């Protein structure tokens, strides 16, 4: 049975993060040969304290790799592990270059408190260095007729391996880089810079290019999905440049109408008066025409009465006929 203090030491990395005033992510994964940067955040009261980075599961068995008070670093860029403190942002960052698979394990961000009865404030993280492949973006999209570039990453041990780009489900479609690390045809170009990354560029996307693909290096591969969207159809806006001889359009404002309102009122009044005069003239003319047509009808009726007494026509020769209006005086009785 393990002693109590040994159990405590083993459980220390699993203490909840809220018990520590220093925090970072619980786990990081990086490809072999890549660079990893870890941010460690701390409370304001620790701004002036010494920070450090060490490898191990416990404080007592942790190998220090970098300290902010280590003034022996002539050129930090040449060191595989470096540390930088930013008291304004309350964070110190640790950079680890050219990661190796044997570098996987537990690491610790620490703030040195000092004193026998004051323990350092620390937090742990687990780093996994893997060999294989990854993609910067596992899902890419582009418009029909355009271009798109997919970036595939591989670990150090696959630097000299042949790189392939294959359509998923059809290994006969695989395109491979040659001895110079490149491949190109009318639609696809592959470039391997031999620095743990190679790119695949579609020059002119077509709808049929939508599919799942594989980035491959050696026996390792990673899936990437490419989505091609229809080419957008846009109608260019009509501008004054299309019709250089036309003046710019002037918006109809409320003030523009108000300036012409007296003139419009005058036109409406005059039009109404003219209309009423024309109607009156037409009414008088029709009335006179009706009156003129009525007199001949009365004369015809009188002639018809006289013709009914033709045998006694002599009795009317000495008679007198009275007319009610002047116009009727033109009628004669024989």
Per residue in 234-258, pLDDT tens? 666 666 555 556 566 555 555 444 4
Of 127, 115, 107, nearest to 52 (Cα)?
A: 107
Of 59, 25, 23, 156, nearest to 102 (Cα)?
A: 156
Q: How far apart are CA 201 and CA 181, in angstroms?
A: 14
Task: Yes or no: say if 292 and 285 are a contact pair by the CB < 8 Å rule.
Answer: no
Q: Does the domain spanning 4-130 belong to CATH 3.40.50.300?
A: no
Q: What's the whole-model pTM score?
A: 0.54
Q: What is the pLDDT of residue 205?
A: 95
Of 68, 108, 58, 126, nearest to 92 (Cα)?
A: 68
Please report which confidence band the pLDDT of residue 311 belongs to, taking 50, 70 and 90 as the band edges.
very low
H or E element at residue 205: none
Task: Yes or no: say if 198 and 220 are a contact pair by the CB < 8 Å rule.
Answer: no
Each residue of 170-183: pLDDT tens digit? 888 999 998 888 99
Q: How far apart are CA 218 and CA 164, in angstroms?
A: 9
Q: Looking up tokens 């002693």, which residue turns up?
A: 3
Q: Where in the chain is the domain with CATH 2.60.40.10?
A: 4-130, 133-229
Q: How far apart are CA 15 and CA 178, in angstroms?
A: 52
Give SS3 for 283.
Answer: helix
Each residue of 205-215: pLDDT tens digit? 999 999 999 99
Q: Which CATH number fits domain 133-229: 2.60.40.10, 3.30.465.10, 3.20.20.60, 1.20.1300.10?
A: 2.60.40.10
Task: Yes or no: say if 195 and 33 are a contact pair by the CB < 8 Å rule.
Answer: no
DSSP 23: B
């Amino acid at each position: 049975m393990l002693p109590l203090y040994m159990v405590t030491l083993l459980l220390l990395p699993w203490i909840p993060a809220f018990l520590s005033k220093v925090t970072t992510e619980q786990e990081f994964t990086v490809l072999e040969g890549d660079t990893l940067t870890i941010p460690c955040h701390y409370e304001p009261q620790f701004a002036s304290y010494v920070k450090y980075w060490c490898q191990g599961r416990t404080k007592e068995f942790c190998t220090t790799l970098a300290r902010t008070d280590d003034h022996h670093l002539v050129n930090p860029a040449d060191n595989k592990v470096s540390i930088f403190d930013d008291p304004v942002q309350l964070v110190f960052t640790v950079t680890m270059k050219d990661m190796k698979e044997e570098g996987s394990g537990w690491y610790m961000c620490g703030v040195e408190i000092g004193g026998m009865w004051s323990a350092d404030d620390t937090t742990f993280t687990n780093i996994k260095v893997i060999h294989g492949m990854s993609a910067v973006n596992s899902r890419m999209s582009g418009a029909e007729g355009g271009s798109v570039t997919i970036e595939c990453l591989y670990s150090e041990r696959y630097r000299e391996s042949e790189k392939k780009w294959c359509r998923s489900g059809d290994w006969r479609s695989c395109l491979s880089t040659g001895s110079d690390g490149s491949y190109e045809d009318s639609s696809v170009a592959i470039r391997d810079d031999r620095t743990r990354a190679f790119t695949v560029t579609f020059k002119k996307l077509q709808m049929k290019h939508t599919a799942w693909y594989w980035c491959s290096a050696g026996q390792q591969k990673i899936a990437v999905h490419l989505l091609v969207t229809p080419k957008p159809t846009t109608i260019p806006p009509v501008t004054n440049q299309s019709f250089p001889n036309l003046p710019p359009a002037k918006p109809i404002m409320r003030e523009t109408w108000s300036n012409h309102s007296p003139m419009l009122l005058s036109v409406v009044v005059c039009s109404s008066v003219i209309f009423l005069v024309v109607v009156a003239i037409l009414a008088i003319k029709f009335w006179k025409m009706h009156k003129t047509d009525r007199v001949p009808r009365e004369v015809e009726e009188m002639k018809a009465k006289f013709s009914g007494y033709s045998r006694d026509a002599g009795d009317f020769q000495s008679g007198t006929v009275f007319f009610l209006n002047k116009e009727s005086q033109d009628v004669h009785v024989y």
